[in-house]
Structure 1
């Protein structure tokens, strides 16, 4: 009958045994060592209930594990002698005044033999989802016909809630420790190290293991000072980097970014780091805390330097080609009065083409090709100078103007150079009467550039496929300028429209 009643009670439960065991497993509490906080709860339960035995138990599938106990001297027992096995099927405090008179427990070896238990009272340990994990219970060797007083029952329930609070807190601590370990692994894989700084004191409160590895610092130096950091910056970068950082903190910035060299104290090696950070401020705007990350970008910088060196070499060779062609033209015209004027004009256009070619290559940080006041119209006139005829301007540039930076100038130069080349080969400039009009308009924070060809060969429909130059123009506009480009192939000529946020032009 007892087994039937237990089965019926279990069947009536709103949870399954698999769910309950999964919830218990998630707390990772089974077979853990004794902990003072749980031991204290058992002591209080024994005192409140005036019982010689108090236990915090957790019910697994084949056993009950005692996380803490007073007066029992055991860490676990088989499940078939567990009294709490029946208690977790109930919904509240379970009190059995006399275990010897209860048919569910009268034959239990813990009742019939040592330690001769006769009284039981247990409060459920329930998850926030209502899944029972075990109980906080007290035992006595003598029956208690009147059970627990209301104060004792309330105290036992409160202690059960406190056990669950401890379990939740313990799980949170374990989870955070795992996340921290995983984060450190991710940082190591990504080559990123974290740092936290108290900006009121200048002390680095925390530096991750990967940060320490990047900076060549020993593992035990998880904290540090502003002066320590400044001392590791390469002497040639130190003043500028520190000035930039202090200005960001002082001037109300929320974000901080920098790339600079460090000298690792462990081996004296020079490394490049990229630093990004978020600056937290109080209600008055005072900087109080910085959370940031450092990444070793040495290999990227080496590749950039190698690429810049290769680009300079290529540029040098291109200039040599222009010089050779110019020299051959001069040599050919020597002694011919009729050819001198032609050669002089040819050399001027060749020099203009060489200058225009300079714009379509990447430039290093010391490049002075693009001035701070360089404008879009000025760039266009420089790029298109080789295509201007002496008798008639084949290009008309009109409308608004805007300042343009180095990166944006390179991207726009690639597009215009490609369009001009195509216009000479296939478009308006392939005929004597063809013209190209470029109109610029600044409106609502965007620059609209319209390239319009007229007077060239008639266009018979839209090209079936886009050539490399067209694809390159689309990618340069979208990825480098953050804008949009559209081509219209009309019978009377090509019209190209480029829309770019003005803010992106100053890059």
Structure 2
């Protein structure tokens, strides 16, 4: 009885390896028949076989001199021969303790002489053997016969390997074809344009949506032809950005206008990502183009409406300031109050002007979300030529339209009071504003220097103080602390950072 396992034998690996070969096809097509005939003639043996040894049976892929198609593995001579490094010879099986009681020795075909060359893969997995058999005891094979048997076994394995490779290639080709069919079917059902390009950026595929949009015929997307469908003003930018992505491997994203089949243009959002292999090399680019024309037009219309509304609001501030000034002229006793009110309206106008939408003529204006920018506009009227009387330092803080108005009123009141009573009331004083951003809390410190001595007002303070409290505490949820120091007023304002911008 031959052993079922030997050192280094992995039956699971052998079974997996055998499943890769087209063994049944090789047997039915007689791929190895000429080799067993050659072996039989070379060794002058009546029987020659090519066997593969499975877990329970050995099966014959080619045979001459016998009608046996398979035998149990327990009776297999080849199960022993396939683990050798050369030809295994049994001169007389009846005299060999391994085979003396073998049914194939005791009964038909009455094996006496056996010589088998192993079939083993490059990875060392034993598959079977090519053997010759005689029903009479014999002397050893000649060197020429032994070498010929080894060469025939090598040729048999080579043919099996070639069929395996062809079979795998056919499977891969079918899988690739099926995958491509599925991809194209999926791509053609998508509302977006879907395209792909080779690693060098040359486009070689676009789905049906491309041809529906542009009216181009199949195949007209190849190479750089796609860019000719872009608006002339967008082509150079699109090519430059695409070449940058191809060179660097960075994702591609761009908005451009694409020419439709009717000659008109529609805005598209183009995106592409690279596909990389295990070594990080780009093997392909896949991209999409999404129609954003309606969204783009809606944004442009909203921008126009927003600018018009903002312009009208700005005019309302101007009208209110004019009405206040006109009232002051009609009632001179109202003039001081009117002046304060007009300045507050003007401060609100500056805050609104800072946060209102930027049209083409205002692209050089300060950033929409900059606290430094807002304070710079508010303090501009207080600066002197060649010398800044109010300086702002510290980190940048993002603000939005909700926070801009109360902040503008707060610092306008501080600047107005400093002009009337504090550091800005003479020619030598100045003010510093320090911004200290924080994750939870943002601190704003107003410090006056070089002004006349000031003292804390009696009672609850005037309208300006209440306005400061209203802006910082009620509207922004913060706190205000005043310190009337001999060298100038210090106001420390603590604001929740989340109240300054909706994006936080």
Distance 1:341 1:422, change over 3 A: closer
Q: SS in structure 2 opposite 1:90?
A: coil
Aligned to 1:298: 290
1:123 aligns with 2:147: no
8 Å CA contact 1:424–1:430 kept in 2: the answer is: no
Shift of 1:293: 1.8
1:14 aligns with 2:2: no
Distance 1:293 1:253, change over 3 A: closer
Q: SS in structure 1 opposite 2:433?
A: strand
Q: Within 5 Å, which residues of 2 pair with 1:402-413? A: none
Question: What TM-score does the superposition give when structure 1 sets the normalisation length?
Answer: 0.55
Distance 1:241 1:277, change over 3 A: farther
Q: SS in structure 1 opposite 2:354?
A: helix
Distance 1:163 1:425, change over 3 A: farther
8 Å CA contact 1:111–1:118 kept in 2: the answer is: no
Aligned to 2:197: 195
Shift of 1:64: 5.1
Over the aligned positions, Cα root-mean-square deviation in angstroms equals 6.2
Aligned to 1:357: 355
8 Å CA contact 1:349–1:385 kept in 2: the answer is: no
8 Å CA contact 1:261–1:273 kept in 2: the answer is: no
- Cα deviation, 1:332-351, whole Å, max 9, x if unaligned, reads 55443237755664565444
Distance 1:181 1:348, change over 3 A: farther
Question: Residues of 2 paired with 1:160 and 1:213: CA distance?
Answer: 49
- Cα deviation, 1:74-105, whole Å, max 9, x if unaligned, reads 99746558737623773434534468646278
Question: Residues of 1 paired with 2:374 and 2:67: CA distance?
Answer: 89
8 Å CA contact 2:58–2:71 kept in 1: the answer is: yes
Aligned to 1:414: 398
8 Å CA contact 2:75–2:103 kept in 1: the answer is: no
8 Å CA contact 2:47–2:133 kept in 1: the answer is: yes
Question: Residues of 1 paired with 2:47 and 2:218: CA distance?
Answer: 48
- Cα deviation, 1:391-443, whole Å, max 9, x if unaligned, reads 4778514799xxxxxxxxxxx7835878877866899987956842469xxxx
Q: Within 5 Å, which residues of 2 pair with 1:33-432? A: 33-34=25-26, 43=34, 47=38, 50=42, 58-63=52-57, 69=62, 77=70, 79-80=72-73, 83=76, 86-87=79-80, 90-93=83-86, 95-97=88-90, 101=94, 103=99, 106-108=102-104, 112=108, 119-126=114-121, 128=123, 130-132=124-126, 134-139=127-132, 145-147=139-141, 149=143, 150-152=146-148, 154-156=150-152, 158-159=154-155, 162=158, 166=162, 169=165, 173=169, 193-196=195-198, 207=205, 211-213=206-208, 215-216=210-211, 225-226=222-223, 228-231=225-228, 233-236=229-232, 239-240=235-236, 244=240, 253-255=247-249, 257=252, 259=254, 260=256, 262=258, 272-275=269-272, 292-298=284-290, 306=298, 310=302, 313=305, 316-331=308-323, 333-337=325-329, 338=335, 345-346=343-344, 348-358=346-356, 369-371=362-364, 382-388=373-379, 390-391=381-382, 395-397=390-392, 414-415=398-399
8 Å CA contact 2:118–2:128 kept in 1: the answer is: yes
Question: Residues of 2 paired with 1:148 and 1:77: CA distance?
Answer: 29
8 Å CA contact 1:428–1:457 kept in 2: the answer is: no
8 Å CA contact 1:272–1:301 kept in 2: the answer is: no
Question: Residues of 1 paired with 2:389 and 2:179: CA distance?
Answer: 61
Shift of 1:138: 3.9
Shift of 1:196: 1.8
- Cα deviation, 1:130-164, whole Å, max 9, x if unaligned, reads 443x1252445666642473523552564477468
Structure 2 stretches of 5 or more lacking a match? 276-280, 330-334, 419-430, 437-441, 448-479, 484-491
Question: What TM-score does the superposition give when structure 2 sets the normalisation length?
Answer: 0.55
Structure 1 stretches of 5 or more lacking a match? 279-288, 401-411, 440-449, 474-507
Question: Residues of 1 paired with 2:339 and 2:87: CA distance?
Answer: 113
How many residue pairs get matched? 409
Shift of 1:298: 0.7
Distance 1:197 1:328, change over 3 A: same
Shift of 1:168: 8.0
1:467 aligns with 2:463: no
Question: Residues of 1 paired with 2:77 and 2:289: CA distance?
Answer: 60
Question: Residues of 1 paired with 2:86 and 2:72: CA distance?
Answer: 20
Shift of 1:242: 7.0
Distance 1:467 1:123, change over 3 A: same
- Cα deviation, 1:165-200, whole Å, max 9, x if unaligned, reads 65885687478658857976689589864322778x
Deviates more, 1:292-301 or 1:49-58: 49-58
